[in-house]
Amino acid sequence: MPRLDSRSEDTIPVGKRAVYPGMFDPIHNGHVDVIQRSLQIFDEVIVAVVANPSKQPLFSVSERLEMIDEATANIVGVGTSFRIAAFDGLLIDLVARERADCIVRGIRAVSDFEYEFQMALMNRKLRPTAETVFLMPHERYTYISSRLIKEVASFGTSVAGMVPSIVEKRLADKFPPR
């Protein structure tokens, strides 16, 4: 059963709460690495899966939630300090609703920075109390992106070592080996 958001508005606040948003279509090992790094910094991390149908995701929101739940099941510190939630709309509205202090974004290369910097400044303008923290995954994951994972898998090629095993299986179901 996924660790889905069931918290009421009356929950007692924890120390530093961060939201790590993304499509996670699909989650890959770079995402998992950023989640692990976030859990070393923040008291609570909310992995927020955006339900953006205009991007035509390969996996449904519920499939992405399930894959994240399974992919992170063995992360040390997972439990009360970690949740998975789906959202639609502005990220900054979710940050406000969750009373989060911070937005976590993964940066693989300089090419990611310009877009992420622009988004961070807009979020700061909309909610000055929310900071954005950029985390780099381990260098062995810097070349991985969900877009590339889907492209490689669409040719029936293995993506082992780049994605958690649940994602590898789900991709093989959608794109059988040739």
Which residues are catalytically annotated?
Answer: 31, 55, 108, 146
DSSP assignment of 63-76, as one string? HHHHHHHHHTTT-T
* Buried b / exposed e along 144-168 (16+ C-beta atoms within 10 A): bebeebbeebeeeeebeebbbebbb
First-residue to last-residue Cα distance in the chain: 33
| CA atoms in the 13 A half-sphere facing the CB of 170 | 23
- Tell me how far apart the alpha carbons of residues 83 and 45 are, in angstroms, rounded to a whole number: 6
How many CB atoms sit inside 10 A of residue 63's CB?
Answer: 17
